[in-house]
Amino acid sequence: MFKTEHKLEEFKLQMDWDQQILDAFLEESARKDEDMMSIVKYAQQEEHRIKSLTVTIEKKALEASEKYKALEKQLIETTTAQVKTKSCVTSDLFTGRIKHVEQLITQWANSVEQIKHQDSEMQRCALVMGRALKVVLNRTTSEVEALMAQISRTKKDLHQNNEKSKLKAATRTTVSKEERAAQVEQFLKEKEQGIKELDSQLHVLTGALSHHRQQLQLLKTKEKEFTMQITRSKSTISSLECQHLKLEKEVIRQQMITTLQVQTLQILIIPSQEEMVERKMVMMEVKRVKDLLYSKADTMLSLEKRKSEREKALKIKKEEIKVLIKTLSQQLKVTEQEKQKLQAEFSEKLTRIERLKSRFEVMVLSMGALEGEEEKTQAFYIVKAAQDKEELRQKGDELEAKVHKMALETKALENTILMFNDLLSSSYHRSFSKVKESSLTYQEKVKLEEQLRSNKERLEQKQQQVQELQQDMQVSSKKHNFTFRHLVTESLHVFCYVQSSKLTKLICSAKDTKAETLELQDIKLKELKEFNKNINEMLHKVMKDNDDLRSVLEKSLLQLGGAVNWNYKLSLLCRSPVSSARRNTKSLALSSAQLNTISLDWDPAASPSPPASSRSFTSTKSNRKSKF
């Protein structure tokens, strides 16, 4: 301001401007000053904002890096756990790791050799520099000594010349005073010129000495730097040698691990190599996409269009998730309804079975096993049911693991999208700048969009696979329930029908009578015993497959006679045919009175041929027995 006022005063004195022109000039200058001050203020405010934004961006980047590290740790832990539990890593991967470690060792060895070569060159250069320094020092000392000798000689010459001049002055007494004065002046001038020449030579020599001293100092500093570099290189060599030893130990350990794992792999069967490879490929692609997204987040999030696209994608994903949740809830409701229906049907079947058991319990207790029959224990059917149940459980666990994995992937994608939305709010003021289609950012945007589309398609494919597997599980469970119902219903009709028809034909043909005899009643008792065996096997299967129905069956059995009586009944069913044959003769008289009170549902004489359904059931049952 003072400078401008001074300039104005000078302009007034020089040009004699008018007052109006001066006022206009002053107003313009004041406006310019105000504009400059406002610009400075806005610049300061923007700098503060930029600093705050940079700080927030750095914080977010640190948080993102920490989260990324945590994710990597979790991934490493999960991969190690999978390797420990499944041990499904192939020998090719181990050979690749060994090759990679060997390559690292060779690289370390090459680097160590290069560093040693550089150290040798540095030592050689240091020796050369020391020799050069010694040569330069010797030269400078010799030159200084020569100059000092010249100076001493010139001093001696001056002293001798002074003495000679004194002698000449004493001898020349006849010369006039004027001539003497002129000679003395000339002599003095000559001596002064010689002294000046000597001074100039001394000045040149002192400059050369200072220059040589500076060169000596520079060479000494270089020598120190070279020594420091040599020490550093030695320390690096020692550290590299330590790392080399560590790597050799790790290589040995990895070789031991590989040998052990190869032995285990030779013993074990590898069922899911392709799935592991696909998972690893997907994880690698996801990591690569994440790295690209983190590296290009600032450039991508500067566009408003990308923000709108992200919001649309988020909305679409939320809608898809809601639809999936609704479908899953509907499927759960349907499955619960089916479960309730099956439980009701099963309870009805149990009531029917209990009625039949109450009718034929006394007969089963009194009779033993048929002669010549091979009885199967309950353990056989229990083991069979347990195997089927374990297979279904394994399939269900695999499906649940896949569903859980897909849910985690969706959560990770949602977290990344939320993080991008947070970054969008910070870089909103930069979103109004347009980007050309020929720019690198636009091309990278297109590439990343294509990658996202491909990842979305893969996710959709995985979800479809999961849905298909769930549908297959539902279909298999329905088939299992249907077969169980079919077996229960057919077993209640076919066994009694077929065996009764055969035995009645034989007895009637032997005695030529149509009335029921004691032998027919004995045969019916044996048929009822077989029927009871089949029912017991089915009950065991049901108790193994459905844990919810176990309590109901136990209560019903306790009502019938307790666990002790039930075990006693099972032991009676498992007796030998000889003991049963001995006991049949004794129990015929006791059971005849009770047999008169029982009314059977079929008439063997009236229906000699079984229906088509019973034939099919007998054939299926025989096939199943042959399989087991």
> Which of the four pLDDT bands, split at 50, 70 and 90, describes residue 204?
confident
Residue 599's pLDDT is what?
35
- Interatomic CA distance for residues 254 and 261, integer angstroms: 10
Q: Reply yes or no on whether the pLDDT at 381 is more than 60.
A: no
| Sole residue written with tokens 């019903």 | 556
Please tell me the predicted confidence (pLDDT) of residue 549. Answer: 65
CA–CA separation, 80 vs 502, rounded Å? 65
**Alpha-carbon gap, residue 515 to 270, rounded angstroms:** 67
Instruction: Based on the fold, state whether residues 68 and 128 are members of the same structural domain.
Output: no
Question: Which of 603, 609, 602 has the alpha carbon at shortest distance from 514?
Answer: 603
The yes-or-no verdict on residue 224 having pLDDT over 70 is yes
Mean pLDDT to the nearest integer, 324-335: 78
Whether 316 shows a pLDDT value over 80: the answer reads yes
Is 552 inside a domain boundary? yes
Is the per-residue pLDDT at 573 higher than 50? no
- 571: pLDDT confidence band, cut at 50, 70 and 90? very low
**Least confidently predicted of 281-290, 314-323, 475-484, 606-615:** 606-615
Domain assignment of residue 287, yes or no? no
Least Cα distance to 53 among 428, 420, 426 occurs for 426
Provide the percentage of residues in the chain whose pLDDT is more than 90. Answer: 0
Q: Which residue has the tokens 């980047």?
A: 61
Helix (H, G, I), strand (E, B) or coil at 599: coil
Quick one: average pLDDT of 165-188?
Answer: 66
Is the pLDDT at 384 greater than 80? The verdict is no
pLDDT at position 454: 80
pLDDT of residue 371: 39
Give the whole-angstrom CA distance, residue 485 versus residue 617: 13
Residue 316, domain member (yes or no): no
Q: Which of 85, 111, 132 is the last residue of a domain?
A: 85
pLDDT of residue 568: 40
Cα–Cα distance, 59 to 51 (Å, whole number): 12
Are 257 and 355 members of one domain? no
In this structure, the answer to whether residues 471 and 542 fall within a common structural domain is: yes
How many separate domains does the chain show? 3
Compute the distance between CA of residue 117 and CA of residue 237 in angstroms, rounded to an integer.
11
Same domain? 339 vs 485: yes
Q: What is the pLDDT of residue 429?
A: 45
The C-alpha angle with vertex 468 and arms to 464 and 469, in degrees rounded to 5, equals 120
Report pLDDT for 218. 82
Fill in the amino acid letter for 207: G
Higher pLDDT, 344 or 508: 344
Rg of the chain taking only CA atoms, in angstroms: 55
372, pLDDT greater than 50? no
Share of the chain above pLDDT 70, in %: 49
- Residue 480 banded pLDDT, cuts 50, 70, 90: low
Overall pTM surpassing 0.75 (yes/no)? no
**Quick one: average pLDDT of 160-187?**
66
Residues 420, 497 within the same domain: yes
Looking at the structure, do residues 59 and 181 belong to the same domain, yes or no?
Answer: no
pLDDT number for residue 548: 64
Residue 133 to residue 139: CA distance in whole angstroms? 10
Q: Long-range contacts for 135-141 (Cβ within 8 Å, ≥24 apart)?
A: 136/212, 136/215, 136/216, 136/219, 137/216, 140/209, 140/212, 140/216
Residues 246 and 363 in one domain: no
pLDDT exceeds cutoff 60 at 531 = yes
For the segment 118-136, the average pLDDT, to the nearest whole number, is: 69
In a shared domain, residues 58 and 97: no
Residue-number span of the structural domain to which 12 is assigned: 2-85
* Mean pLDDT, range 526-542, rounded to an integer: 75
Query: Is residue 312, in this structure, part of any structural domain at all?
Result: no
Per-residue model confidence as pLDDT tens digits over 23-55: 676 777 777 777 777 777 777 777 777 777 777
Task: Name the residue type at position 198.
Answer: L
What pLDDT was estimated at residue 604?
Answer: 37
pLDDT in tens, 61-103: 777 777 767 777 776 776 666 666 555 445 566 566 667 767 7
Is 299 part of any domain? no
User: Regarding predicted confidence, which is higher, 14 or 175?
Assistant: 14
pLDDT given for residue 133 in this prediction: 66
The per-residue pLDDT for 535 is: 76
What does each C-alpha distance from 130 to 71, 116, 353 come to in angstroms?
A: 57, 21, 111
* Residue with tokens 């004489």, as numbered in its chain: 605
DSSP character string of 71-133: HHHHHHHHHHHHHHHH----HHHHHHHHHHHHHHHHHHHHHHHHHHHHHHHHHHHHHHHHHHH
Query: Residues 194-202: contacts with CB within 8 Å, 24+ apart?
Result: 194/154, 194/158, 195/158, 198/151, 198/154, 201/147, 201/150, 202/147, 202/151
Token digits for 589? 């008289």
Q: Which of 85, 109, 129 is the last residue of a domain?
A: 85
Structure confidence at residue 328 (pLDDT): 76
Residue of 105 and 615 predicted with greater confidence:
105
What average pLDDT does range 169-177 have in this prediction? Answer: 58
| Per-residue pLDDT band at 253 (split at 50, 70, 90) | confident
Quote the pLDDT of residue 486.
Answer: 63
Quick check: is 320 in a domain? no
pLDDT, tens only, 263-291? 776 666 555 566 676 777 777 877 777 77
**Cα(59)–Cα(295) distance, rounded to whole angstroms?**
16
Whole-number pLDDT of residue 592? 35
| Whole-number pLDDT of residue 567 | 42
Distance CA 182, CA 484 (A): 152
Over residues 604-620, the mean pLDDT reads 38
What pLDDT is recorded for position 373?
43
Cα 447-449-452 angle, rounded to 5 deg: 110
Average pLDDT, the chain: 67
- Whole-number pLDDT of residue 618: 40
Co-location of 125 and 58 in the same domain: no
Q: Do residue 150 and residue 234 come from a single domain?
A: yes
Per-residue pLDDT band for 557 (boundaries 50, 70, 90) equals low
Confidence of residue 488 (pLDDT cuts 50, 70, 90): low
Is 449 a member of any domain? yes
Nearest to 500 by CA among 473, 529, 475: 529
Residue 286 maps to a domain = no
Q: Are residues 180 and 135 in the same domain?
A: yes
Q: Higher-confidence residue: 511 or 197?
A: 197
Query: Is residue 357 scored above 50 in pLDDT?
Result: yes
Whether residue 223 sits in one domain with residue 188: yes
Among candidate residues 85, 101, 126, the one where a domain is terminated: 85
Give 385-435 pLDDT, tens digit per residue.
667 777 777 877 887 787 777 778 777 777 776 776 665 555 544 554 555
pLDDT of 598 > 60? The answer is: no
pLDDT score, position 291: 74
